[in-house]
Structures are given as C-alpha cells and as structure tokens.
Amino acid sequence: MKTMHSHEISTPQNAPFKKILIANRGEIAIRVTRACRELGIGTVAVFSDADRESLHVFLADEAYHIGPSPSKESYLNYKKIIEVAKAAGVDAIHPGYGFLSENPIFVRACKEAGITFIGPTPENMESMGDKLSAKALMKKAGVPLVPGSDGGVETVEEALAVVKKIGLPIIIKATAGGGGKGMRVVRNESEIESAFRACRSEGQNYFANPTVYIERFINDPKHIEIQVFGDTHGNVVHLFERECSVQRRHQKIIEESPSVSVPMEVKLKMGEAAVRAAKSIGYVGAGTIEFIFDNQTKEFFFMEMNTRLQVEHPITELVIGVDLVKEQIFVAKGQPLSFKQENIKQKGHAIEARICAEDPTTYKPHPGQIRACRHPQGPFLRIDSYAYPGYEVPIYYDPMIAKVITWGDTREEAIDRMQRALAEFVLTGIKTNIVLHRTILGHEKFLDGSYTTQFIEKNFEVLEPQMFREVNDKVFLIAAAITAFEDRKSKDVRRFNVRSNWRSLSRKIALRT
C-alpha cells in the first residue's frame, strides 16, 4: 500500500543522510540505529560513564563518551553533543524520546551548527510545550477540550450556571490546589453549593488562594492518543489511535492499537481533530495528540501534544505498516510523506508491554546486574530491548529495559501471543514487572476492553496475589535448599557474583548477532 521513496536497495550513495548521531541511549537509540542501517546511513552513538557497556554503544558504527552518568551532565548536555556531532562529521541528529527531544534550544543549536534536527520545528515545540497556551490554541482550532468554566468561578450562582451548561458530574478544583486538597467531585445538584464553598475555603486555607474552576468529571476515563505525521510541504496525516490506559504511577505500561472502546465513526473524528490540531501549528514530523476519552459517552477531549516519537510507536508501525523512524528521516530531509491519508488502514491488532526493572508489586525501581537473559522468539513478535546477560542496569535512567510487541490478526490472538512471549522471556538477577503484565493480560477487565486509567489502582488487590501464583513455593524452597547445600559443601565460584570478564565479553559478542 505504501509508495516508498525509492524501490532501490538502500546504499550509502542514495541515503538521505551520510551519518546520523543518536542523542539518546538504551532501546530507542538501538531502534534509530536500525532504521539508519536499513537506509545505508552511518550511526554515531553517545554514552555517559554509566553506559560504556550499554548495548546501544556496541550496535552503532561509532560511539563517543559525552560525560558523567547523571543525565544533566551527559544526555542533556546539548553543547557537548553538538561538539561530538561536529567532530564526527554527522549531517543529522535524531533525539529519540525524552532527554533533548522536545527542547527548542537544542533544535536551534543544531541549526546554527549546520546539522539537521530530525523532528519538529522549535516553534512547534513551543506552541505545545505550555499546557495552558496549547489548550487555548486547540480551542481556536476547534479541537474539543474538557467542558468547564472559562477560568475562575467566583460565586455559587456562577457555579450553577456552569453546571447548567456542562451537566453533572463535575469536579471543582482549587486553581492553586494539589495533592488531593481543594478538590471535590459533585454528582448531585444539591451538593454543588456545599462543595463549592468547601473547595474555596480549602484553597484559601492550604494555598492562600480561594479561586476555583469547574470541569466535567469523567467517570470512565481512557487514554487514547492519535499518531500524526506532517511534512515540510504542508501535508498532515493521522495514523489512527493507540490506547494507553493501563498505567501505574501515571506512566503507561501496556498499549494497544486499535482500541476496542472507540467506534469507527469516533476514531475518524478523533483523527480529523488531531490533523486539525497539527495543521493549526504547521506541524512537521511525528507527533502524538493525547485525548482523554469518556468511555460512557464516547466523547474525547484534548489533553496535550507530544512533539516527538513515542515509546509505544511500534504498535502503530505493526498495524499500519509504516516505519515511523525512517519516515522521520525522510521528512527531515525535506521529502513529502510517503503515504496519503486514504492509504492508511489499520490491519490486525498490536500490543506492547513495557518491561521495567522494578518490583511488580511496589513499582520501586530495581536496578542491578542481569544474570540470565533469553528474549522470546517466534512469529509476529518484535522485541526492542537493550538487556543482555551480565548487563548492569544503571541507577541513573528510566527503568524500562525492553519492549515486547506482538501482532495478531485479532485482538485475542495478539493477547495470546503476548502471554506466550512473556512466558518465554527469561530475565533473572533483577526484579521485573513481567508477572504484573501477565496478570493484567489475564484480567477480565483487560480482556473485555473496559479498563480505564484507574484499572491497576482499582484492581490491585485482585492482581497482586495472582502475580506469583504460577510457581509453587516449594519450587523456590527446594532450589534454594539444594543450592545452599552445594554452596556449603564446596564453594562453587560459579554461583557467586564473581564473573569472568572473558565470559561476559563472549556473551556480549554473541549477542550482537
């Protein structure tokens, strides 16, 4: 269905760029490296002190040290990165996600250095960077916002007038509020007055500001986002939705596309609204419009725009059949989009599970040394991971170490395939959230698609005891007992944490293939 820019095999001669520096680390740096390789583009990795042994360093053509382990002194040090880019003779920089990816100062510095930034314009980033001004822009562009009062509400009469306009339930929030203080959900008209007064006095008492505002309260909120893509010729296309409602600590951990909750006519409307939003700011490159979706009324409201590639971009790639990173590179080169809106169709179903080095019951990060690591394999499966045996997950960065992405003809098949893949994943030495994923994937609310952004919170008491159910305690006990016996009988070096450097090295080499 696509018309690729070139039907020729990619070679360095016809590549859009000669060499790209990837200003990132971990799995996303590897993702971008792969796109470059396929296009015949040279790759330059950068790394901090903690990342000398990170897989993205091993997989790139060149790699340069950029500073100490804390992000501020390395991956966020844009001056150093541009200095390295110039010295390595790159003609473009890909920022990945996070770090410098939405920093207009960095984009301008790239331009000054004569290096192409692969991503939106600094003006795009600035328009969407501030949530309040972004909402004002979107209102002008006719993109729906959560209905509510325009600014502060001073009197009970005003509050009642707002409710008359937007209906119940509502949430009253103190403008200066936070941490659950100065906030009331109102479901009955008789409660409005007392809730309004309570919020104002809490605002005054806790934050020295009695101003409150009113918004529609969404009972069953879902996080639905639309992938958009613009080019420098004024084209903007949407690539349909991703549902990202499975979240812990307000961060996504499972995403799927399509969403079972969004009827076709609604998703088309969401796509049109997203295109309108992107067009209104002359958007260039890959971006995502996040909506809060009311699963009862099927209404959607603009939340924010992410002006970068997203962690969960692979599920769109699998369902639409477009390589988003390559498309970013072509667009940065000034080429028109390789696809038109009418050619974009969703085929089948894709799910992504974010594998994090963390305790699955407390979500506390659990960095440390990986011992055994065997990634799942098999049909219709994609693994974007930077884990390998012996790798020490550093304490300085995000705990996500791998993404498992499955595709299926139907949603059921994609879920079964994910369960199968996760069961195959062997990762020991550190705690991971794989058991949490498997438990969620088996939960009825996930299976019937009715889950909301509060799914994990609300169902945790049911989820937690199921997580460790698959293995009986006596398996753990017998294994520990035999090991303790062996350790005491003969001090077997192998099971201590001493590792031969030669063995680690040979593993790393084996992993590159």
Partner 1 sequence: MYFEAELQGRKYKVDVHEERHSWKVSLQLEGQDWKHYDVSKTDFQHAEEYVSFLFEGKSYLIDVLGQDTEYTVFARNSFRTIKIFNDEMLLHESLKKGGGAGSNVELKAGMPGKIIEIFAKEGEVVKAGKPLLIMEAMKMENEMRASSDVKIKQICVKQGDSVENGAVLIKFEKPS
Distance of closest approach, residue 367 Cβ to partner 1, in angstroms: 6
Distance of closest approach, residue 174 Cβ to partner 1, in angstroms: 25
* Span of 110-118, 284-292, 402-410, 495-503 interacting with partner 1 by CB under 8 A: 495-503
Residue pointed to by tokens 């219709």:
380
Which of 474, 490, 502, 513 touches partner 1 (CB under 8 A)? 474
Site for partner 1 in 218-247 (CB under 8 A): none
DSSP state of 402: E
What is the distance between the alpha carbons of residues 472 and 359, in angstroms, rounded to a whole number? 19
Q: What CA dihedral angle connects 36, 95, 272 and 219, to 10 degrees?
A: 130
Please, what is the angle between helix 122-129 and helix 104-112, to 10°? Answer: 170
Q: For residue 501, state whether it binds partner 1 (rule: CB under 8 A).
A: no
| Binding flags for partner 1, 331-370, as an x/- string (CB under 8 A) | --------------------------xx-----xxxxx--
Q: CA 332, 336, 341, 342 torsion: positive or negative?
A: negative
What is the distance between the alpha carbons of residues 60 and 37, in angstroms, rounded to a whole number? 9
Q: For residue 477, state whether it binds partner 1 (rule: CB under 8 A).
A: yes
Q: Judge whether 56 and 30 are in contact, CB under 8 Å.
A: yes
Three-state DSSP at 293 gives strand
CB closer to partner 1, 64 vs 425: 425
Which strands make up the sheet holding 236-248, listed edge to edge? 300-306, 285-294, 221-230, 236-248, 251-257, 349-356, 400-408, 381-385
Distance of CA 423 to the CA centre of its chain: 23
CB closer to partner 1, 279 vs 443: 443
Per the annotation, the verdict on 420 as an active-site residue is no
The active-site residue, picked from 308, 354, 411, 438, is 308
The footprint of partner 1 on this chain (CB under 8 A) covers a number of residues equal to 53
Q: For residue 495, state whether it binds partner 1 (rule: CB under 8 A).
A: yes
Distance of closest approach, residue 187 Cβ to partner 1, in angstroms: 35
Distance of closest approach, residue 382 Cβ to partner 1, in angstroms: 19
CB atoms within 10 A of CB 457: 11
Distance of closest approach, residue 437 Cβ to partner 1, in angstroms: 9
- Helix, strand, coil: what percent of the chain each, to 5? 40, 25, 35
Q: Judge whether 479 and 487 are in contact, CB under 8 Å.
A: no
Q: Judge whether 64 and 88 are in contact, CB under 8 Å.
A: yes
Which of 396, 413, 419, 504 touches partner 1 (CB under 8 A)? 396
| Binding flags for partner 1, 417-436, as an x/- string (CB under 8 A) | -----xx-xxxxx-xx-xx-
Q: For residue 438, state whether it binds partner 1 (rule: CB under 8 A).
A: yes
Which of 78, 398, 406, 451 touches partner 1 (CB under 8 A)? 398
Q: For residue 509, state whether it binds partner 1 (rule: CB under 8 A).
A: no
Three-state DSSP at 332 gives helix
Distance of closest approach, residue 480 Cβ to partner 1, in angstroms: 4
Distance of closest approach, residue 435 Cβ to partner 1, in angstroms: 5
> What residue ranges bind partner 1 (CB under 8 A)?
357-358, 364-368, 371-374, 389, 395-399, 422-423, 425-429, 431-432, 434-435, 438, 467-468, 470-471, 473-485, 487-489, 494-497
**Catalytically annotated residues:** 308
